[in-house]
């Protein structure tokens, strides 16, 4: 499963960032066109995090709606799927966002 390897990388990066402390919260952004299922990521996370410094962390998933800018009329419009067209009918556009998969932030417990 694609999501499993993604969750593994997230947990690995967060563990490294924690430098021996425990991670409290991991916030990630998933674009709606990234091909990654947020539900599957949320499902895998506790399993993968078990036994790591990320074990007790909350996973905060933010879904990023896809958006594009039309090259004909300049309008910005949502592109929920790959076949979207601008309201003006044009299919020439630049994707602005929606394909991202980012770790937005990693919150680590304060050092004692």
Binding residues: 2, 70, 73, 86, 88
Does 96 contact Zn ion by CB under 5 A? no
DSSP state of 4: H
Does 72 contact Zn ion by CB under 5 A? yes
Whichever of 35 and 74 has its CB closer to Zn ion, that residue is: 74
Does 73 contact Zn ion by CB under 5 A? yes
Whichever of 20 and 94 has its CB closer to Zn ion, that residue is: 94
Confirm if 62 and 46 have CB atoms less than 8 A apart: no
DSSP state of 96: E
């Amino acid at each position: 499963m694609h999501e499993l390897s993604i969750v593994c990388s997230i947990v690995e990066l967060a563990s490294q960032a924690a430098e021996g402390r425990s991670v409290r919260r991991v916030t990630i952004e998933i674009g709606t066109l990234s091909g990654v299922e947020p539900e599957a990521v949320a499902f895998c996370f506790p399993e993968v995090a078990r036994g790591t410094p990320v074990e007790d962390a909350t996973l905060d998933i933010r879904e990023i709606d896809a958006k594009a800018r039309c090259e004909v009329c300049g309008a910005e419009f949502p592109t929920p799927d790959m076949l979207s067209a601008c309201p003006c009918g044009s299919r020439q556009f630049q994707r602005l966002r929606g394909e991202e998969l980012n770790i937005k932030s990693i919150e680590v417990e304060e050092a004692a």
